[in-house]
Amino acid sequence: MVKQTMGLSQEEYNKQASAHSKANIILWLISGVIYNIYSDNLMSLSTLLLVIPGIFVASFASMPTFLVNIKKHQILKDQIVTNTKNVLILSLFTIWYVIDLVFPIVLAILYISLVKYLVALF
């Protein structure tokens, strides 16, 4: 008997979780470095903290979006969306796609702002 997690085989679940986490970490790092370049702080503590503990923060924070993506893939697998002409459902999927892309970017900027704020306190 194949062990299943959220309707996927354990291997497929791990594969999708890894891919989602890697994508969010890459978006996290790129957007954080670009934000630090934009704010003239590339060589700073916030850049270092963006990499070392930051990738773990990004990976952990991406868990809720991953769980929603798993549900979304299950809906797509059942061909509910591909057979519908309901604009609301299609709009919700599009909005979720944008949220999933923007989430790690906004999170990286907030993380850097928090680090800068805490460094300014000390």
Domain assignment present for residue 103? The answer is: yes
Written as tens digits, the pLDDT of the chain (122 aa) is 667 777 778 888 889 889 999 999 999 999 999 999 998 877 888 888 888 898 999 989 889 889 888 887 777 666 665 666 777 877 888 898 899 899 999 999 999 999 989 988 98
Task: Count Cβ atoms below 10 Å from residue 96 Cβ, excluding itself.
Answer: 14
Contact 27, 105 (CB under 8 A): yes
Q: How many domains does the chain have?
A: 1
Residue 4 located in a structural domain: no
Is the pTM here over 0.85, yes or no? no
pLDDT at res. 79: 62
> How far apart are the C-alpha atoms of 42 and 58, rounded to whole Å?
19
Angle formed by the axes of helices 10-38 and 87-121, nearest 10°: 50
Q: Is residue 26 included in any domain, yes or no?
A: yes
- What is the span of the domain harbouring residue 111? 20-121
Phi, psi (5° rounding) for residue 4?
Answer: -120, 145
In a domain, 66, yes or no: yes
Measured CA to CA, the distance from residue 28 to residue 5 in angstroms comes to 27
